[in-house]
C-alpha cells in the first residue's frame, strides 16, 4: 500500500496516457473505420453505388490485416510508422499501429450494422428521388445509429485492452505501469490498482455506450 | 394521352446461378393508364406486378420496351434525371418502410427536403398532410409507436408530400387487418377524388380492386392476361386465371363441388342466369317463368355492386315439364345469358 502511495504520480500519469491513447485511437481509427465500413457497404454488389473492384480490394485488404495478432502487428508496421509519423516507438507509435488495426475491425462492424437497415426503407428513399449519398447520410447511418453506438462501445473496450501492450515499444499507460511497478517488482497491490482503474474505466465506457444507444433507440 | 404508358415492356433478371435460366419478371406488357384512374393490377405473388410497378418509377430499369410518364420516356433517361421524375411519383409499401429513426413529422418532411423546399414550405405542407390523414397529434411520435393503419397513413402522407400526380401502392393493405384495410382504402379513394391523383394499386386481393379500382389488369407469369374496366372484368372475366380471382369476391356461379350438393338437395333442372347492369330486370325473368306455369327456386348466387353498377348470377332450380321449360328458357336467353348446368 505504501508503495502505491509513493507511486501516485506515476499511476495517474499512466492513467492519463491510457486515456490519451484510447481517445486518439478512437478518433483516428474510428473515423477511418467508419469511412472504410461505409465504402464496403456502398460498393458491395447490389448496394447504393455497387462497384465490384473497389469492394473486392477493400475486402481483401481488411481480411489480410485483421487476423494478425496485435502484438505482432505492432512490430510489422513499425517501418510504416517511422515513415508516416517519424517514430517507431512510444505512445504515438502505439496509437498509429492501434488506429490502423482498429480501423479494420471497425470497418467490419460498421459494414455489418449498416447492412441491418431494411432494403425497403432504402427503396422508399429512392422512390422519393433521393440520391445515394443523401440516402447514406440521412437514412442508412441514422437508421443504424443505435447498433453502431453499441459496436463502437465494443471496439472501445477492445482498444483499452490493446493499449496495455504499449510497453513493448516503449510506450506508457496503465499496462506498462502494472508491468513495470507491479509484476516485475512483486507488488500485486500495484498491479491490482491498475486493474481496478481499467475495470472502472471500461465499465464507465460500457455504461455510457448503452445509455447513448438506448437514447437513440428510445427503448 | 395516357399518364403512364407501357409499350412492349419486359424485365428479365440474370440467372440466380451460373448456367441457370434467366428470370422473366415482366413479359412484353403493353398498358395505358389514364390520368384520374385508380388502376388495379392483380396477380398471385410472383406474377410480376411488383416489378412492373417499380418500372413505372424506374426503381428498376426495364430490359426492353418503352415507358412514358407524362409523355417523358423513362427508358432513355439518365439516373440523375430519373430522380426528378421520382419526386413526382409517390409510392407506398406493404411494410410501410417508414424511417424508424425519424418522427412522423420528419418522415413526411423528408421528400420535401429532397425536393429542396424551404423550411416554411415544409412546415406548412407537413401540417396540412398530417391533418389530411388525421394524425396531427402524432407528429412527434416515432413509427414504432404507431399501429399498422397509422403507419400506412403516414406512408400515404409522405408519398403525397411533393404533390405527385401519380401514386404507386404496392400491396399497401396486405399487412393490415380487414377493418384497417377499409380505412386505408377509403383514404386512398379520397386522395384520388380530392386531389385528382392517379393511383396504381398492386394487390393480390380482389376485394381491394372491388373497393377502389376503376380499371384492372390481371397479371400471370409476367404477362397482362386481361385488362379493362373493373365492371367488365368482374362481370365477365375472359381468362381462367381472372375467373379465379373474380370468384374470390363475387358469389356467382357454383363450383362443381357446390353443384353436387345443390343437385342432391333440389329437384328439377339447374340453370344459371347472368345479369349485367342495364340488360334486363330480374322481375321480367321471373315473370317469364311464372307465365309458363313453372315452379322455381333460387338456390345459389348473388348480386354485386361495382361502382354503382350491379351484376350477378342467380342459379335456379326449375321444376316442370321439359316442354314448358325449354321454350321459357329460350325466351329468357334472348335477353340475358342463360347457362344450363348439366
Q: Are A97 and A77 in contact (CB under 8 A)?
A: yes
Query: Would you state the cell numbers that stand for residue B117, as one nine-digit string?
Result: 423546399
- Shortest CA gap B214–chain A (Å): 25
pLDDT in tens, B274-330: 887 665 677 888 888 888 888 888 888 888 877 778 888 888 888 888 888 888 888
Residues of A in contact with B168 (CB under 8 A): 127
Q: Which of A129, A139, A216 sits opposite B86 (nearest CB)?
A: A129
Q: What residues make up the domain containing A180? A: 2-217
Q: Which CA distances in Å does A57 have to A30, A61, A102, A104, B92?
A: 20, 6, 18, 13, 37
Query: What residue ranges define each of the domains in chain B, with the CATH number in brackets?
Result: 4-88+164-247 (3.40.50.300), 256-341 (3.30.70.260)
Could you give the CA distance from residue B151 to residue B162 in angstroms, rounded to a whole number? 19
| pLDDT at position B323 | 85
User: Which residue of chain A comes nearest to B100, CA vs CA?
Assistant: A143
Binning pLDDT at 50, 70 and 90, where does residue B104 land?
very high
| Residue B115 C-alpha, separation from nearest chain A C-alpha, in angstroms | 8
pLDDT in tens, A81-136: 999 999 999 999 999 999 999 999 999 999 999 999 999 999 999 999 999 999 99
Can you give the pLDDT at residue B280?
63
Candidates A186, A127, A182, A215; CA nearest to B98 is A127
- In this prediction, residues A174-200 reach a mean pLDDT of 93
Pairing of the two strands B4-13 and B223-229 = unpaired
CB contact under 8 A, B110 and A127: no
Contact A139 B87 (CB under 8 A): no
**Percent of chain A scored above 90 by pLDDT?**
89
Q: Quote the pLDDT of residue B278.
A: 63
Is the CB of residue A31 less than 8 Å from the CB of residue A211?
no
Instruction: Tell me which chain A residues have a C-beta less than 8 angstroms from the C-beta of B83.
Output: 129-131
Q: In what order do the strands lie in the sheet with B295-306?
A: B295-306, B309-319, B269-276, B337-341
Phi-psi region of B139 (alpha: psi -120 to 50; beta: other; left: phi over 0): alpha
Is residue B252 over pLDDT 80? no
CB distance A128–B100 less than 8 Å? Answer: no
Looking at the structure of chain A, the number of domains it has is 1
Q: Identify the three-state secondary structure at position B23.
A: strand
Determine the pLDDT at residue B245: 82
Residues composing chain B = 342
Task: Report which of A116, A97, A91, A98 is spatially closest to residue A161, judged by C-alpha positions.
Answer: A98
Please tell me the distance in Å from B93's CA to the nearest CA on chain A. Answer: 8
CATH number of the domain residue A57 falls in: 1.10.3720.10
Give the Cα separation of B234 and B208 in Å (integer). 13
Which residue in A124, A130, A138 is closest to B97 by CB distance? A124
CA–CA gap between residue A18 and residue A174 (Å, rounded): 6
Quote ipTM for the complex: 0.85
Residue B19: per-residue pLDDT: 77
Q: Which of B310, B313, B304, B305 is nearest to B339 (CA)?
A: B313
Instruction: State whether A118 and B97 contact (CB < 8 Å).
Output: yes
How many residue contacts between A and B have a Cβ separation below 8 Å? 63
pLDDT at position B306: 79
Separation CA B243–CA B313 (nearest Å): 14
Amino acid at each position: 500500500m505504501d508503495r502505491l502511495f509513493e507511486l501516485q504520480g506515476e499511476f495517474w500519469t499512466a492513467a492519463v496516457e491510457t486515456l490519451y491513447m484510447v481517445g486518439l485511437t478512437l478518433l483516428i481509427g474510428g473515423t477511418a473505420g467508419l469511412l472504410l465500413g461505409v465504402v464496403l457497404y456502398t460498393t458491395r454488389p447490389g448496394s447504393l453505388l455497387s462497384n465490384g473492384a473497389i469492394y473486392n480490394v477493400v475486402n481483401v485488404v481488411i481480411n489480410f490485416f485483421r487476423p494478425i495478432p496485435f502484438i505482432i502487428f505492432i512490430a510489422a508496421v513499425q517501418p510504416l510508422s517511422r515513415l508516416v509519423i517519424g517514430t517507431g516507438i512510444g505512445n504515438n507509435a502505439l496509437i498509429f499501429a492501434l488506429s490502423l488495426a482498429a480501423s479494420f475491425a471497425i470497418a467490419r462492424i460498421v459494414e455489418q450494422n449498416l447492412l441491418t437497415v431494411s432494403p425497403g426503407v432504402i427503396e422508399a428513399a429512392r422512390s422519393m428521388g433521393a440520391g445515394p449519398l443523401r440516402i447514406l447520410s440521412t437514412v442508412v447511418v441514422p437508421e443504424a445509429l443505435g447498433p453502431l453506438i453499441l459496436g463502437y462501445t465494443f471496439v472501445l473496450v477492445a482498444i483499452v485492452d490493446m493499449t496495455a501492450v504499449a510497453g513493448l515499444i516503449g510506450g506508457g499507460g496503465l499496462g506498462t505501469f502494472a508491468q513495470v511497478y507491479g509484476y516485475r517488482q512483486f507488488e500485486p497491490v500495484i498491479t491490482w490498482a491498475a486493474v481496478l482503474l481499467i475495470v472502472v474505466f471500461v465499465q464507465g465506457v460500457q455504461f455510457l455506450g448503452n445509455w447513448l444507444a438506448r437514447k437513440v433507440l428510445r427503448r | 394521352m395516357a399518364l403512364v404508358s407501357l409499350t412492349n415492356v419486359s424485365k428479365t433478371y440474370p440467372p440466380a446461378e451460373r448456367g441457370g435460366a434467366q428470370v422473366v419478371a415482366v413479359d412484353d406488357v403493353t398498358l395505358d393508364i389514364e390520368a384520374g384512374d385508380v388502376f388495379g393490377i392483380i396477380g398471385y405473388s410472383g406474377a410480376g406486378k411488383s416489378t412492373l410497378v417499380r418500372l413505372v418509377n424506374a426503381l428498376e430499369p426495364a430490359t426492353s420496351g418503352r415507358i412514358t410518364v407524362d409523355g417523358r420516356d423513362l427508358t432513355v433517361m439518365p439516373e440523375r434525371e430519373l430522380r426528378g421524375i421520382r419526386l413526382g411519383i409517390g409510392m407506398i409499401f406493404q411494410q410501410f418502410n417508414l424511417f424508424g429513426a425519424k418522427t412522423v413529422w420528419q418522415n413526411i418532411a423528408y421528400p420535401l427536403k429532397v425536393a429542396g423546399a424551404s423550411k416554411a414550405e415544409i412546415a406548412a405542407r407537413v401540417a396540412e398532410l398530417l391533418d389530411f390523414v388525421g394524425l396531427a397529434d402524432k407528429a412527434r411520435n416515432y413509427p414504432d409507436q404507431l399501429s399498422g393503419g397509422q403507419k400506412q397513413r403516414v406512408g400515404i402522407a409522405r408519398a403525397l408530400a411533393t404533390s405527385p400526380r401519380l401514386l404507386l401502392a404496392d400491396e399497401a393493405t396486405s399487412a393490415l387487418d380487414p377493418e384497417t384495410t377499409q380505412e386505408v382504402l377509403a383514404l386512398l379513394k379520397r386522395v384520388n377524388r380530392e386531389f385528382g391523383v392517379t393511383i396504381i394499386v398492386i394487390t393480390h386481393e380482389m376485394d381491394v380492386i372491388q373497393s377502389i379500382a376503376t380499371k384492372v389488369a390481371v397479371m400471370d407469369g409476367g404477362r397482362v392476361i386481361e385488362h379493362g374496366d373493373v365492371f367488365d372484368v368482374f362481370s365477365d372475366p375472359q381468362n381462367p386465371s381472372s375467373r379465379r380471382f373474380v370468384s374470390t369476391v363475387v358469389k356467382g356461379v357454383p363450383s362443381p363441388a357446390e353443384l353436387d350438393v345443390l343437385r342432391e338437395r333440389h329437384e328439377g333442372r339447374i340453370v344459371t342466369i347472368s345479369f349485367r347492369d342495364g340488360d334486363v330486370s330480374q322481375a321480367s325473368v321471373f315473370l317469364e317463368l311464372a307465365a309458363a306455369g313453372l315452379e322455381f327456386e333460387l338456390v345459389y348466387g348473388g348480386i354485386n355492386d361495382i361502382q354503382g353498377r350491379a351484376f350477378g348470377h342467380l342459379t335456379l332450380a326449375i321444376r316442370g315439364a321439359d316442354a314448358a321449360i325449354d321454350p321459357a328458357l329460350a325466351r329468357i336467353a334472348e335477353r340475358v345469358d342463360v347457362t344450363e348446368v348439366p
